[in-house]
A and B are shown apart, each in its own frame.
Chain A
Amino acid sequence: MSFLQSLKNNVRQRSIHVCYVNVGSCNGCDIEILACLAPRYDIEQYGIYVHNNPREADILLITGAFCEQWEDKLADLWDKIPEPKAAVTIGNCPVSGCVFNRRGSFVDPPVSKHIPVTASIPGCPPRPTEILSTILSVASELFKDYEDK
């Protein structure tokens, strides 16, 4: 591996920009993302930066059970993210609809039906540590030697 490539790998793994979108959650998972930003977990010390602009993002965090209104919007948002990119779903909602997936509710989980999802973090809501470690493990796989892929 060239020196340049290893430098790129190194730098990319320590500069991950995430963008999050709520496609109909109860806000529980969003609050756990907020806890990641707060001093106790301090997401930036791991080289993860929250940048709520899909055009600058590497990783899209998705919370929520996918309400009908997101049918066209989420795919649009996903297309705006430049390569290399990954979608990580947070909580039970994007996997199963969690407590909202009952007869008569207007949700359409799983989110992986609508856009390609790289990883899912189960839990209602998941711990901040689980969110952090998932982002870190996804990012190191995704951005390593990206030019050769």
Chain B
Amino acid sequence: MFSIFCYLREFLRPEWWKKFLFVKTAPLVTPPHYRDFPVLTGNECSHELRCMMICPAPGAIEVLKNAEGKWEPVIYKGHCIRCGLCVEACPDNVLTSGDILSVNEKEKTYFLASYHLNVDDSICMRCGNCSVACPVNKEVDPQLAYTATSSSNEVIMRIKNSKLTIIHPEKCTGCKTCEEACPNHAITVARVLEGFQDED
């Protein structure tokens, strides 16, 4: 008898009826630390392509020229797996996602890229296309851009002693232009990214 009374008292409360008829569900919120699709921070992209280099998902990121003619990474939803590696690898902090940048800053972690050039002498025909196409070479030795020959020893590679000689591999920026310019696929560029942390 008492329990029936209790039930009735419970269900006659206007508060109960309000809750029953006008339920409010909790809003769907995303925490600020969540790593969503990377977005642009507004920093200028220096076209080092480290994001494209490190991205594990096929077709997820491309560095394209925007309407103003500036380089800018474009991320394709439906391909990007939101791993955040492009955000970490970018030397200019062009991209951001969640708390990746602030955590990197706090823990002093970063990626360093190095590039290794390899020439297969058995298929290289010593045409020199690669050293003419290389944008770094053209900058170092302007003569190369105009006359397609070079005698400078400051270039990355050139035909020397009738052989394609790599003189300054450390100047390479890993753009792979030489790979594309080579008619025989004799030159290959390996891009290696290593993670580091500063301790102090």
Residues of A within 8 A of B (CB): 45-46, 92, 95-96, 98-99, 101-102, 120, 122-124, 127, 129, 132-133
Contacts and interface: CB of A to CB of B under 8 A. Distances in A.
A98 B30 contact: no
Contacts of A102: 58
B17 interface: no
18 contacts: A45-B23, A92-B57, A92-B79, A96-B58, A96-B59, A96-B79, A98-B57, A98-B79, A99-B56, A99-B57, A122-B77, A122-B78, A123-B37, A123-B81, A127-B30, A127-B34, A129-B28, A133-B28
A129 B58 contact: no
A138 B28 CA distance: 16
B79 A123 contact: no
Contact of B80 (A45, A46, A120, A122): A122
Interface in B128-163: none
A89 to B, nearest CB: 9
Majority secondary structure of chain B interface residues (helix, strand, loop or mixed): loop
Interface residues of B, number: 19
A68 B71 CA distance: 40
A131 to B, nearest CB: 10
A96 B30 CA distance: 25
Interface string B38-76: 000000000000000000111100000000000000001
Nearest to A102: B58
Contacts of A123: 37, 77, 81-82
A92 B83 CA distance: 13
Contact of B78 (A45, A46, A96, A127): A96
